[in-house]
Amino acid sequence: MDGLTAAVALGAALAGFVQGLSGFAFGLVAMAVWAWVLDPPLAGPLVVIGSLIGQALALPMLRHGFDLRRAAPFLLGGVLGVPLGVALLPRIDPLAFRLGVGLLLLAWCPAMLLARDLPRVTRGGALADGAAGLLGGVMGGLGGLTGPAPTLWITLRGWDRPAQRAVFQLYNLVMQTLTMGTYLATGAVTAEVTRLGLVVAPAMLVPSLLGTLLYRRISDAAFRRVVLGLLALSGLVLVATTLPRLL
């Protein structure tokens, strides 16, 4: 096994475990390894491939909290938001946008982690949920950041662990499917992406299942801490990767 293949397999295994545990964050973890060995045109499609595989493996788990009526506003908002974000892209500095999102996550998520009781948002109903999904879609179109806004909002909703995971995992599945469709339509899935994708799939299989088994053993409170911790880490990565380029 050559060095590139080994690095891709390592990133996929680590990311598969974290996604199996949390339901998201495949790209965050994988890119911590892949950014050193892969160019963005290869890394982007591979993140989507790995994320889709992980979401598919976890689909049987979603039946415990699956509620299409609850998820529908997020999905509709996300589908509408992606093209809006793409349309706004020429008018907004993507680096400054990613830095702003990173700073917000770094300020907000650790504060909630340190709080004894998380704030619980019960108002707004489907309209507020749709707005969170729309914001996630816009952020995805602007900078590939579909996950933070709806995931954070769902955490604040205070639903039980299966319901939270079912909604944001279904949301991520739909958003990643749309992204993959875009990659396929634009020819971004090259022969090299396909070859490395065949490395990603088996490398993440067992770690994803192990993460899923661990998820079933943790409490609702521990799950919320995992989600908030990963969102805070995502903010740190965004700041660390964008601030030097802006300066």
Residue 188: which residues within 8 A CB-CB, separation 6 or more?
41, 44, 45, 182
Residue 199: which residues within 8 A CB-CB, separation 6 or more?
5, 8, 9, 12
Between the CA of residue 144 and those of 81, 135, 149, 168, 220, what are the distances in Å?
12, 12, 12, 16, 28
pLDDT band of 65, cuts 50, 70, 90: low
pLDDT at 185: 86
pLDDT band of 124, cuts 50, 70, 90: confident
In 3D space, the residue among 18, 15, 16 whose CA is nearest the CA of residue 215 turns out to be 18
pLDDT at 183: 84
> How far apart are alpha carbons 151 and 229 in whole angstroms?
12
| H or E, element range at 44 | helix 40-62
Is the pLDDT at 209 greater than 80, yes or no?
Answer: yes
Tell me which of 171 and 97 has the higher pLDDT. 171
Is the pLDDT at 52 greater than 80, yes or no?
Answer: yes
Residue 34: which residues within 8 A CB-CB, separation 6 or more?
7, 8, 11, 43, 46, 47
pLDDT band of 156, cuts 50, 70, 90: confident
In 3D space, the residue among 45, 87, 60, 72 whose CA is nearest the CA of residue 195 turns out to be 45
Single-letter code of the amino acid located at 218: I
Is the pLDDT at 81 greater than 70, yes or no?
Answer: yes
SS3 159: coil
pLDDT at 97: 83
In 3D space, the residue among 182, 104, 106 whose CA is nearest the CA of residue 137 turns out to be 182
Is the pLDDT at 115 greater than 80, yes or no?
Answer: no
Count of all residues that appear for the chain in the document: 247
